[in-house]
Structure 1
Amino acid sequence: MKIALFGAHGRVGQAFLRFIQVDDRYIVRSLIRTNREEMLAGMFQVTGNSRNRDDVLETIKGADIVVSCLSTDGDDTLSVSMEHIVQAMKQSNTSRIITIGTAGILKARQQPELYRFETNESKRTTSRAAKEHAKAFELLQSTDLDWTIICPTYLPDGEVTRSYRYEKDFLPIDGKKISVEDTAHFLYQQLNSKEFVHQRVGIAY
């Protein structure tokens, strides 16, 4: 399987690559801003920027699946990049995409018509990042792509336990955190799964 990867330099992206590194079923083509020799051996690198439409298209060409671990980057990088990714996927006839989102864009339990970040269920002091993730979600939702958005809550560094809870559309009850490594493990598990197509998935311990 050929994977087009965005956000390989981020914490979840790096942890995801560690799973891929020991699995010879996958070939990774990643868009990165500068060439880095310490990245995954054998990974194809496209030097560029996800805000550039041509760089995104070059990364996705020939891919079987797109994986995005892009963060909001303090600006509108996520929503701009997702627009380019969607267009490039259509142009390349690639239908499957798995992205990392945030628990803020899951449904609120008491008011499911709202995002969690729009209610007091979210403990974040600012909603800027969640609003960016919501734009990406709403864009994917408007397409006919086979999308899945994995929505972790608080993401500390930790270890791979392979023991965590997940739930469609909602954060598991009393979920407080999930390690970067277990989030990446769940992402890795979805590469060959159709269980959560057209779904947001909350994940936590």
Structure 2
Amino acid sequence: MKLLILGATGPTGRHVVDAALRSGDQVTALVRNPAGLGESADRVTVLTGDATSRSDVSGALAGQDALVSALGRGRSVVADGLFTRASAAALAAAEETAVSRLVWLSSFGVGHTFPWSSLTQKLMYATLLRSLYADKEIADDDIRSSGLDWTLVYPTRLTNGPARGSYHADDRLPMKGSPTISRADVAAFMHRAAHGSEWVHRTAVISD
């Protein structure tokens, strides 16, 4: 499978790249700084560009089978319109290139999942992450209303632990306290979702 990965140099994106390479996929990464790919760069088609630029994303997406976005803001809680701008670029590029499969990383607590959150989660989402989540909600709604074969992935609090492979993924999961999931497990799920149809037009809540 030919995959374009956005956010490939981020902490989750690097795991997506690794999962794709292990499975034998042909990987293209659109990145600002190719050095962030580390040793994986030798096995990846690296394109330097901006994930919020329609022309950059369109050029990278041409000839691909799917787009997987693991874009994030790192430790910053300031949205700066990243997700709305990136989703607009991705949707326009998908229309231009006729690539319909999109797997997009969001966050649990965004949009319709907020009421399902535990009290602990709600306190964080409504205060510290409020701006970031508002930007993600707009992006997610735009993706849902598109004609693409989308999957939105809503992980609970991300950790840098190893993949366990025993996580839970469903349209809705019960929450208590502040559950977590490793970035490696999220990446593995996103990669598998891109290869199948089970999660097309669905929101995947994922947690340990």
Structure-2-length-normalised TM-score: 0.87
Q: How many residues align?
A: 198
Residue 173 of structure 1: aligned partner: 175
Query: Which whole-Å CA distance do the structure 2 matches of 1:140 and 1:14 have between them?
Result: 23
Residues of 2 paired with 1:96 and 1:20: CA distance? 15
Q: 1:85 and 2:90 equivalent? A: yes
In the alignment, the residues of structure 2 paired with residue 19 and residue 47 of structure 1 have an alpha-carbon distance, to the nearest angstrom, of: 21
Deviation of residue 196 (structure 1)?
A: 1.5
- Could you tell me how far apart the structure 1 residues matched to 2:180 and 2:29 are? 28
Q: Which piece of structure 1 moves more, 51-60 or 31-40? A: 31-40
Percent of matched pairs sharing the same residue: 25
AA matched with 2:202: Q
Distance 1:123 1:167, change over 3 A: farther
Structure 1 unaligned spans of 5+? none
Q: In the aligned structure 2, how far is the partner of 1:83 from the partner of 1:96? A: 15
| Correspondence 1:38-57 to 2 at 5 A | 38-57=39-58
Letter in 1 for 2:185: D
- Partners of 1:172 and 1:202 within 8 A in 2: no
Judging by fraction of residues, say which structure has more helix: 2
- Alpha-carbon distance in 2 for matches of 1:42, 1:157: 23
Instruction: Tell me the secondary structure at the aligned position of residue 52 of structure 2.
Output: coil
User: Is 1:95 aligned to 2:100, yes or no?
Assistant: yes
Name structure 2 gaps, 5 residues minimum.
Answer: none
Is 2:161 aligned against 1:158?
yes
Q: State the shift of 1:162 in Å.
A: 0.2
- Tell me the SS of whatever aligns to 1:122: helix
Given residue 203 of structure 1, which amino acid in structure 2 is its aligned partner?
I
**Could you tell me which residue of structure 2 aligns to residue 17 of structure 1?**
17
* Structure 1 outlier segments of 4+, above 4 Å: none
Provide the rounded CA distance (Å) in 1 between the counterparts of 2:93 and 2:99: 8
- The residue type paired with residue 93 of structure 1 is A
Which residues of 2 match residues 14-163 of structure 1 at below 5 A?
A: 14-24=14-24, 26-36=25-35, 38-72=39-73, 74=78, 75-105=80-110, 107-108=112-113, 111=115, 122-124=122-124, 125-126=127-128, 127-163=130-166
Task: Check conservation: 2:3, 2:65, Cα contact below 8 A.
Answer: yes
